[in-house]
Amino acid sequence: MPKPTLTDKLVVAISSRALFDLDESHRVFMAEGVEAYHRYQLEHENEILAPGVAFNLVKKLLALNEGERQYVEIILLSRNSADTGLRVFNAITHYELDITRAAFTKGEPTSRYVPAFGAHLFLSADTEDVKRALAEGYAAATILPSHVTNNVSRELRIAFDGDAVLFSDESERVYQTQGLAAFAEHESSAAHEPLSGGPFKNFLAALHRIQSDYRNGDSPIRTALVTARGAPAHERVIRTLRAWNIRIDEALFLGGLDKGEFLRAFGADIFFDDQKSHVESASRHVPSGHVPHGVSNE
């Protein structure tokens, strides 16, 4: 019998605090310490946790496995011990989530298991864990608290910022050090030079591979680039995606406009951006993840 492998799947690693609402138990941990947290979790072990910010995203990812192929593997990474983590698995069973693989680290960073599982994406409420994963070259984001109504359609919709997320931060550095005029001139002169890939390039490529299995526009995944760029800086982005041979379904070049209303109109199940202010604004409209990478986070 061949050994199990995840090499042919889109692998998403997620923390228990991103998947479920663990705010109350986290408050106990922060205020009273580990022992009080342990007691609290055991005392409430049979109380089902409410869905967290990324719950709907995970359900839609797992729904991609309902056809002939098993496209997605969700990995639970938790700082709980196996003992306190039983409550989390009780919730997984209750919601009938097909999650069978997990790592419980009892307070230690979980990000060290991101490479071991070969995750294309790591979502966590712990920014330091996210930074460690990004430093090792993996797509990762800090999930921000949000109480917005999720997109109720079965279609999975994921939106990305461009610079320092899908692309490197090379252009953003020009903008921040030399200003908008220099940025526009730089991008126009380099329009035919593809941008280097950012931390989320491989995740987008993995989504694109799944999309490519569907014909006639019936893919259950829809992607969007939502960027503050406007003309003439749009051309380099378009040519970069073309050079990567990666399709993106919608591209919004907003020229500095606030992104929130556009993300709500798109119906994003999650949005990724490197700038904290943009993510905080977006989280009022759609579930959002901060990517603490690049010049804006130095």
Active-site annotation holds for 161: yes
Helix, coil or strand: residue 235: helix
Is 150 domain-assigned? no
Q: State the Cα–Cα distance between residues 128 and 109, nearest whole angstrom.
A: 9
- In the numeric block, which tokens belong to residue 231? 């003309």
CB 258 within 8 A of CB 228: no
Q: Do 236 and 285 belong together in one domain?
A: yes
pLDDT in tens, 169-227: 998 898 888 887 888 888 888 889 999 999 999 999 999 999 999 877 789 999 999 99
pTM, 2 dp:
0.93
Check which CATH number belongs to the domain holding 129 and give it: 3.40.50.1000
Number of domains in the chain: 2
Distance CA 268, CA 249 (A): 13
Decide which of 143, 173, 199 is a domain's last residue: 143
C-alpha 24/C-alpha 159 separation (Å) is 30
- Evaluate the omega torsion of the peptide bond into residue 199 and state whether it is cis, within 30 degrees of 0: no
Checking if the pLDDT of 130 tops 90, the result is: yes
Query: Is 32 in the same domain as 127?
Result: yes
- For 92, the domain range is 10-143
Same structural domain, 163 and 269: yes
User: Residue 149 domain-assigned?
Assistant: no
**pLDDT at residue 35, as a whole number:** 85
Do 164 and 124 share a domain, yes or no?
no
In a domain, 97, yes or no: yes
Task: Please identify which residue in the block is written with the tokens 């089902």.
Answer: 48
Same-domain pairing of 130 and 15: yes
Choice among 126, 129, 161, 273 that is catalytic: 161
Residue 32, in any domain of the structure: yes
CB environment 190-210: b (16+ within 10 A), e (fewer): bbeeebebbbbbebbebbbeb
Q: What SS3 state is found at 71?
A: coil
Are 186 and 62 part of one and the same domain? no
* 78 lies in the same domain as 191: no
The pLDDT tens digits of the residues spanning 149-169 come to 667 788 999 999 999 999 999
* CA angle (103 as vertex; 31, 94 as ends), nearest 5: 80
Residue 79 lies in a domain: yes
Asked if residue 188 and residue 161 are part of one domain, the reply reads yes
Q: How far is CA 116 from CA 5, 23, 24, 136, 138, in A?
A: 12, 28, 31, 12, 12
224-248 per-position pLDDT tens digit: 999 988 888 889 999 999 999 998 9
> Which has the closest alpha carbon to 174: 163, 186, 189?
186
Same domain, 186 and 281: yes
Half-sphere exposure of 129 (CA within 13 A, CB side): 27
The C-alpha atoms of residue 178 and residue 208 are separated, in whole angstroms, by 35
- Backbone φ and ψ for 163, nearest 5 degrees, come out as -60, 130
Domain-located, residue 221: yes
Domain stop point among 112, 143, 174: 143
Dist CA 187 CA 238 (whole Å): 12
Question: Does residue 1 fall inside a structural domain?
Answer: no
The reply to whether 235 and 176 lie within a common domain is yes
**Do residues 76 and 160 both lie within one domain?**
no
Which of these three, 79, 113, 143, is where a domain ends? 143
Percent share of the chain, pLDDT over 70: 99
Residue 292 forms part of a structural domain:
yes
Long-range CB contact pairs, 82-88, < 8 A, 24+: 82/106, 83/38, 83/42, 84/37, 84/38, 84/41, 84/42, 85/16, 86/45, 87/41, 87/44, 87/45, 87/47, 87/49, 88/16, 88/19, 88/20, 88/49
Is 139 in the same domain as 255? no
Q: What is the residue-averaged pLDDT of the chain?
A: 92
Region 283-290: mean pLDDT is 96
